[in-house]
Chains A and B, each alone.
Chain A
């Protein structure tokens, strides 16, 4: 490799600095989750599984985790279904107001969750959806439509429409063509949008806070316990989430690469 000049070395150092700043907190989080002490500060005082045991013994936290998983899964499923259908229609048909629709569907993403949350709370009350996890699912699914529609549309735009004609030519009806030709083509976009939607829904606070009834989700639970300071238990569940996210990312990269 070529010898770097001093200022180039500086820039490389800067890049690594940024990376460290991004990931060190996570490393610290994981380290403290194994630290045998009630206070989360250095110096470390020995290794323990205690905090993980505490997590699995904490019924409230587990319920919150379960709620979060249910909300994220349902919201992702709903938004993927509706968003993919919407993208297909947008891609295939021209209608007046199409451009407006495309941009309007992205707006909820850029609006502060606070505004979306209050607006949805009001509206859902008017149309008779009570504050509940169902409301949260609908709220998340609606707000996340933009992610799915934009990703899937971008992918569809890159897909050769003649493949659909070829499929029809070879005897496949529209439904069969969708499952055998269109879906494989947009699979990476659906997978990507699904992962992103799941993550966004999983840790979403403002909209959830407004729309949920008595049920609380994990982020809201963590937020509420923070008043008593960061407990090692929270570090433990945080570490678990980091681990699961990592596995999901590896899985999705694997799935996408397989098809290239």
Chain B
């Protein structure tokens, strides 16, 4: 992150009664970034967003926005605006009134006579020019979503907070709105902070992703970082699927880590330096399904076919690596060299994996 920080969390925690929704958390967001808080429900991502929006006050720690300490400020004294999960449009107002709301509140500095022009402008920007007179009840999900965006953006916030903005839309519309979000972010140059549980959405939209689990940040990085160099097995499995196989660290040889698979075979992993593993220690290796190539050769994972699932453009093959207790998955291109007979359940199968595609993690006691 090179831009100067616009949002900073410094040692922020949040408890609800005895439940710790957010453990001590510090991170900052750079001006103009598109950052995503990603994690399963209950991981603390929405709490973090609500703390920044001012809807919850932190139990401890400090929150700064645009250089100001806003830790105890109410929402109406923060230079941020929110797109709510279910939009929270005012049902008794028209679309235009909803959008104008943020300019008509007491203390707004916009001239009354200028409001209609600004409303028209922002409605135009989200592609709803004709809808100003309608009530929210008469709109489709995607249109409501756009109104919610327009209503938040008209205040020209320093940071736009988006709480699961696309989760209520169907798949097709979601893709359209993803493109839309990306366009708005690019055109407006405003910082976007989005909460989502959908990793594909996070990967597609963000400059950086904050992966959260159980009230803690697990890793912060660009989509590429997280995908290629996940810090923990959790992140590896959450960002794109990953096969995790229990194994044993065998030692180092030149630029390779040597790992003994449960079946006895040895696998090489190419890294710059030893991650501090001792020979003989229990480890987890991670291999992404698309990195398993059905081939003979070197650096092999062997097992037996359990089942195959036809996915249209690809075949998802479930197999049990020799000696492993959990099945693993491989993604095969259609028309791969394997014959139909070779994919029958129980057939032995082997996959080659490039040494640079093997991920290695310390095995944490469950």
Contacts and interface: CB of A to CB of B under 8 A. Distances in A.
Contacts of B88: 160, 162-163, 165-166
Interface string A156-180: 0000101101111111110010001
Nearest to B86: A162
Contacts, number: 67
Contacts of A160: 86, 88
A195 interface: no
B105 interface: yes
Contact of B92 (A166, A171, A172, A259): A259
Contacts of B53: 165, 169
Contacts of A172: 76, 101, 105-106
A171 B76 contact: yes
A169 B106 contact: no
Contact of A171 (B55, B91, B102): B102
B90 A173 contact: no
B104 to A, nearest CB: 9
Contacts of A168: 54-55, 74-76
A170 B103 CA distance: 8
B140 to A, nearest CB: 19
User: Max chain B CB contacts within 10 Å: which of A168, A169, A172, A185?
Assistant: A169
Given A168-B75, A168-B76, A163 B105 contact: no
Give the interface residue-count category, chain A.
10 to 19
A170 B105 contact: yes
A173 to B, nearest CB: 6
B106 A176 contact: yes
Interface residues of B, number: 26
A184 B97 CA distance: 14
Given A165-B84, A168-B75, A171-B76, A184 B106 contact: no
Interface string B39-68: 000000000000001110000000000000
A128 to B, nearest CB: 42
A176 B92 contact: no
B106 A173 contact: yes
Contact of B90 (A171, A176, A181, A259): A181
B331 interface: no
Nearest to B77: A171
Nearest to A162: B88
Interface string A57-91: 00000000000000000000000000000000000
B151 interface: yes
Given A165-B88, A166-B84, A259-B92, A173 B75 contact: no
A162 B84 contact: yes
Contacts of A170: 76, 81, 101-102, 105, 151-152, 155
B108 interface: yes
A56 B102 CA distance: 54
B82 interface: yes
A165 B74 CA distance: 10
B350 to A, nearest CB: 54
Contacts of A163: 88, 90-91
Closest 9 CB pairs of A and B: A170-B102, A162-B88, A168-B75, A166-B88, A171-B105, A172-B105, A184-B92, A169-B82, A169-B75
27 contacts: A160-B86, A162-B86, A163-B90, A165-B55, A165-B75, A165-B84, A166-B82, A167-B101, A168-B54, A168-B55, A168-B76, A169-B53, A169-B80, A169-B81, A169-B152, A170-B76, A170-B102, A170-B105, A170-B155, A171-B102, A171-B105, A171-B107, A172-B76, A172-B105, A173-B106, A181-B90, A184-B90
